[in-house]
Amino acid sequence: MFGWEFPPHISGGLGTASYGLTKGLAKSGVEILFVMPKASGDEDSSIGRIINASDVASKTDVFLEDYWTNVNFLSVSSSLIPYLGFEDYEQLREESLQNRTVMSHLGEKYTFSGKYGTNLMEEVVRYAMVAATIARENEFDIIHAHDWLTYLAGIVAKKISGKPLVIHVHATEFDRSGESVNQTVYALEKLGMDEADAVMAVSNLTRNIVIARYNISESKVFTVHNAVDFSGTKETKINRTIDEKIVTFLGRITFQKGPEYFIEAASKVAKRFPDVRFVMAGSGDMMNRMIKRVAKLNMGGKFHFTGFLKGDDVNKMYSYSDVYVMPSVSEPFGISPLEAMRSGVPVIISKQSGVSEVLRHALKVNFWDVDALADAIYALLSYKGLNRMITRCGLKEVNSFSWDDTAMLVKKIYSKTLEHYGA
């Protein structure tokens, strides 16, 4: 299994989902070799063996020389940062090193950052080169690659080992960028989907995008909804020092997450319900624009920007909240509403989210309908009976989601793929 991140060092839902799924698979008897760019040594090894790609040297392989020639275009320095805002990006090598060709690094170890910095494309290709060594030196039955960053590694491992490849689509470039897609990322996603023997999408929404926008046969695309892991979750007790209600947005402040719709709805709610504060927790490329918009709406006294939160701070934010809002423009799934519900917070989600396919006890609106979003927020703040019902039923519903069930579905897809592949 190839993944770009793994708890406790994560940047968002990708790492959380990878962890939940691997735990479920391990419980169902699947032995896992989890390869990540940079392991810190504090990962949960109970799920299987963690392989640190930074400890593995890439080796010359005559079989793949023509293949590397075809993917050399990916090694150029790129300013692409697809998950803006969660890390302080850093350059690990000088620009001159970034501009060297891929082949010149064969036989060397490379210390990956494991982040999403400006040398990301170089790291994606180096990671794939290391995958060749890992595939040659380990025994396994099937390859599982998470998201576009690892598709190239999965393809190389397949070419070396002759074993089938399953890719896991957690998001597409259309989710991240709308219609202004980065063609290099799109090409990598398309390549991974074409080469894969099975494609798993985190929602029907994502499955439909894979089929329609990437021209992939629907017979090999399967929907596997995410779940949420609450094992080990501690109840967070907080001491609120304000009487106002708190409405929270928690996520990347980027186009995909719809932060502007949250702010416009907040301005409407504040006029009807004065005893309320709004929190935007996260960071991203739209943050400065959102701060300016809040100032223009004269809401500075009622709006708070926390920056990126992680760990216990996320749980505390949920505990402070009276309503949680996820107005995403395009959300392949969306685990954060499940986490909020588990904390006893009623949620409002966009109909353009994968999680809306599985949630019954959440208020759902179109992301662009600011009036409907404002009405939903107002209703949960004003009508105690509605709030209590959504909270109580939501908590019961979210506790029924299990990564164990998801893992069993994934295991069936593995078996079906292996059977079809002739294993």
Angle subtended at Cα 310 by Cα 337 and Cα 258, rounded to the nearest 5 degrees: 45
Tell me what pLDDT residue 79 has: 36
Please provide the DSSP assignment of 26-87 as one string: HHTT---EEEES---S-S-GGGSEEEEGGG------GGGHHHHHHHGGGGS-----TTTTSS
Question: Residue 193: inside a domain, yes or no?
Answer: yes
**Taken in order 25, 125, 200, 204, is the CA torsion positive or negative?**
positive
Say what the pLDDT of residue 100 is.
40
Give me the pLDDT at residue 163, please: 96
Looking at residue 327, its pLDDT comes to: 97
Same domain, 253 and 347: yes
- Residue range of the domain that includes 312: 245-398
Q: Is residue 394 in some structural domain?
A: yes
Q: What pLDDT sits at residue 139? A: 93
User: What is the predicted pLDDT for the residue at 72?
Assistant: 40
Amino acid at 290: M
What's phi and psi for 281, nearest 5 deg? -105, 120
> Burial, 395: exposed, middle or buried (Cβ in 10 Å; 0-12, 13-18, 19+)?
middle
State the pLDDT at residue 287.
Answer: 94
Q: Is residue 207 part of a domain?
A: yes
* Alpha carbon distances (Å) from 373 to 144, 259, 368, 404: 38, 12, 9, 34
Both tokens assigned to 269:
């709610």
Q: What's residue 99's pLDDT?
A: 39
Beta bridge partners of 201: 169, 223
43 with 187, same domain: the answer is: yes
Which tokens hold the place of 124? 């994606």
Q: Report helix angle 120-137 to 151-161, nearest 10.
A: 30
Residue 118 DSSP class = T
Domain CATH for 154: 3.40.50.2000
Cα(373)–Cα(363) distance, integer angstroms: 9
Q: Are residues 380 and 407 in the same domain?
A: no
Q: What is the DSSP string of 124-163?
A: HHHHHHHHHHHHHHS--S-EEEETGGGHHHHHHHHHHH--
The terminus-to-terminus CA distance of the chain in angstroms comes to 18
**What's the structural domain count of the chain?**
2
pLDDT for 83: 41
Q: Where are the alpha helices (DSSP H) in 196-311?
A: 204-213, 259-272, 287-296
Are 268 and 387 found together in one domain? Answer: yes
Centre a 10 Å sphere on the Cβ of residue 164 and count the other Cβ atoms it contains: 21
Same domain, 408 and 389: no
pLDDT of residue 230: 73
Q: Is there a domain that residue 3 lies in?
A: no
Q: Which regions of the chain are under pLDDT 50?
A: 62-63, 68-106
**Does any domain span residue 302?**
yes
**Residue 251 and residue 168 share a domain:** no
Q: Is 238 domain-assigned?
A: no
The per-residue pLDDT for range 136-162, each reduced to its tens digit, is: 899 999 999 999 999 999 999 999 999
- Quick check: is 7 in a domain? no
Q: Are 121 and 255 found together in one domain? A: no
Q: Are 92 and 105 within 8 A, CB to CB?
A: no
Do 100 and 34 share a structural domain? yes
Tokens of 159: 């070419």
pLDDT of 217? 96
**Are 410 and 347 within one domain?**
no
| pLDDT at res. 120 | 78
45 and 160 in a single domain? The answer is: yes
Residue 41 lies in a domain: yes
Residues 58 and 164 in one domain: yes
- 190 and 158 in a common domain: yes
